[in-house]
Structures are given as C-alpha cells and as structure tokens.
Structure 1
Amino acid sequence: MGHSQQDKRKTHERIVEIASKRLREKGLDGVGVADLMKEAGLTVGGFYKHFASRDELVAEAMQSAFGAWSAKVRSEGRTPEDIPLQEYAAIYLSGKHRDDTAGGCPFAALTADLARSGERCRSLATDQLKTSVNSMQARIDATDEAEARRKAIIMSCLMSGALGLARISNDEAFGGEILDTVKAFVNEFGTK
C-alpha cells in the first residue's frame, strides 16, 4: 500500500473513531458532518473522499462502536468469551461505564436512535445484539440451553436498561444504586 493510501486509510479510521464516540455521546442525529470533520482536523469537502454519504459513516461508526469492547479486551490478551458473568456484570454495571457514554455500550446510549435508524444500521445493531445475547448465554449457568437463552435475553435487556437509566439520573447515589441492584440481581439470576 502506497504512503498516500496508508495515510488515507488512517484518516478514514480516525474519522470513524471520532464519529463512533460522538454519536454515542450526542445521538445519531446530534452530530453533523462538519463538526466531525473539524474535530478530525479536516475540511467538509474531504468527507466525500472517504464516505459516499453520512449514512455510510454512521454505519461504519456503529460497527466500530459495537466492536470496541471486544477489541479492548483482546488488546489486553484476553477473549471476551472467557470473562465470567460476575466480572462482566461488574465491568458493565460500573460507575466508570455509566460515566463514559462516548466510549461505552452503544445499546445503552442509542437504543431509541438505533430503532429509528436506516436499514443498514438496524441490521448491524441486530447482528450485534444477537452476538451479545449468544455471548451472554455462554456465561450463564443454567440447567438447559433454552433456560440459558431466556436468562441471557433477560439479563442483556436488564443490564443495558439499567445502564441507560443510571445515566439519566442526575442523582449519582441513585444512579449507583440502580447499577449495584441490577449487578446483584444478575449475579444471582445467572446461576442455577
């Protein structure tokens, strides 16, 4: 790959990374192309050298957001599947995650936005949701596969909802109580 192609790829990745964070922080409609390009140190005209449309950027940014946690875990020499349920719940339902909307779970930050997004984004979100439920199911100690699947769906919904509600609260103690209560429930519910 030539130097200019490599630079273009790096610039493209930087735009996607910035968009991934800003979209989780401000919503799918809360960030304009001009603001993203300015943050990336580029002009609006340069946008179309990288993307055919804003929708294309949003889809790439969401794909990046969906894979961010797994990539982080892998960069630490672990695999997401090997993280036990209690540890996963402690990480997901933490004050640190609550306070990091831009770097956190896209489902907790963007559920309503994703439901109203275009078909490509909804397909990406659906695929990731299925992957997340399957990953959760593998962590659950249950008597049979159907029971593990049921618990995985309940816990996935409960955890992302709890994180979103904890973010809504302007009372930090109450937000922490939501996270701690759901974490204890998940830990109890996830065992036989």
Structure 2
Amino acid sequence: MGHSQASKQTTHDRIVSIAAERFCELGIDGLSIANLMKEAGLTHGGFYKHFESRDQLVAEALTAAFRRSEDPQRSHRADFTSLVDEYLSPEHRDGVGTGCAVGALVSDIGRVQGEARELYTRKLRANFSGIAALLGDAQDSEKRAQAIVAFSAMVGALGLARGVADEALSLEILSTVQRFLLDSFGGDGEAPTQA
C-alpha cells in the first residue's frame, strides 16, 4: 500500500472510530456528517472520498463498536458473574460512547434498515449464544432462554440507569437487576454500592 493510500486508510479508520463512539453517545440520527468530519479535522466534502453513503458509515461504525466490545483486553468476562458485574456497573453506565453498542443503540436500531440492522441482529445472536455458554451450554434451549432474559434485563437496566436524573435511583436499578440475575441464574457477584 502506497503512502497516500495508507494515509487515506488511517483517516478512514479515524472517522469510523469517532463515528462509533459518537453514535453510541448521540444516537444514529444525532450525529451530523458535518460535525463528524469537523471532529476528524476534515471538511464535510471529504466524507464522500471515504464513504459511498451515510449507511456505509453507520455499518462500518457499528462493526467497529461491536469489535471494540469484543476486545479481550477490555473485559474480564470469564463467567456469568463477571459479565453481570461489569455490564451493570456505574463505570459502564457512564461510558456510553465506549460501552456496549447494543445497549447504547437499542432505541435507534429499530429505525434503520439494511446492513446496520443485520449487523445488530448478528451481534444479538452472538451475545445470546455467548451468555448461554457462560450459563452452561450454548446449545441448550433453556440456557438460551435464560441468556435472552438476562441480556434483555441488563440492556434495559443500563438504559434506565442512564436515563434517570437521580444517582441513588440509578444505582438502585443497577444493583437490583444485578442481584436478580445473579440470584436467578447463578453467581456470587456483589451489587454496586448505592449512594
């Protein structure tokens, strides 16, 4: 790859990385191309040198956000308890842009079509299978049902905890759902301390 092509790829990757974080923070419709390109230090017109359409950017940014959440350096999810503890933590609640893209975009994704929605669907399936494996068996239908309930509860609790203006209530939501999941599906994790 020549210098200019490598430079273009580096710039492209930087745009995608910024978009992945901003989509999680602002929602898919909350980020304008002009603001994205300005943050990347580029002009609005330069967008089409990197992407055929906004839909392409959304798909690439989702892929990057999902890949980021799968990075083993970011996580200590060796078991179900660790997953629940990490997911329902105040740190994850506060890290909207760098946290779970599935949770951050749950209300947005129903309004998009095409590749981005397919990526989201594949990610959900993978999460359900991964959680079922943590619960004992990814192929067992009961474990899969538990995984769907657990992940749905975690995503919902995270969204509610982010949405309230009361820190004590936010922590109560996180700790209540955490305790429920660990009591229901196993684990000895401690709930976040309430303020």
TM superposition score normalised by structure 2: 0.90
User: How is 1:87-126 mapped onto 2 (pairs within 5 angstroms)?
Assistant: 87-126=82-121
Structure 1 residue 154 displacement after superposition: 0.3
CA-to-aligned-CA distance 1:35-65 (integer Å, 9 cap, x gap): 0000000111111111001111011111111
Query: Counterparts of 2:136 and 2:59 in 1: how far apart (Å)?
Result: 34
Match of 1:148 in 2: 143
What 5-or-longer segments of structure 2 have no aligned partner? 188-195
Secondary structure at the counterpart of residue 117 of structure 2: helix
Amino acid at match of 2:19: A
Secondary structure at the counterpart of residue 111 of structure 1: coil
Asked whether the equivalents of residues 15 and 40 of structure 1 are also in contact (C-alpha less than 8 Å), the reply is yes
CA RMSD of aligned residues (A): 1.7
Q: Does 1:54 align with 2:54?
A: yes
Structure 1 residue 141 displacement after superposition: 3.9
User: How is 1:81-92 mapped onto 2 (pairs within 5 angstroms)?
Assistant: 83-92=78-87
Identity of aligned residues (%): 44
CA-to-aligned-CA distance 1:79-109 (integer Å, 9 cap, x gap): x7x6111111111100011011111112222
User: How is 1:1-192 mapped onto 2 (pairs within 5 angstroms)?
Assistant: 1-71=1-71, 73=72, 75=73, 83-141=78-136, 145-191=140-186
CA-to-aligned-CA distance 1:16-41 (integer Å, 9 cap, x gap): 01001111111111111110000000
Query: Counterparts of 1:133 and 1:99 in 2: how far apart (Å)?
Result: 24
Query: Counterparts of 2:20 and 2:147 in 1: how far apart (Å)?
Result: 26
Aligned residues: 186
Amino acid at match of 2:4: S
TM superposition score normalised by structure 1: 0.91
What 5-or-longer segments of structure 1 have no aligned partner? none
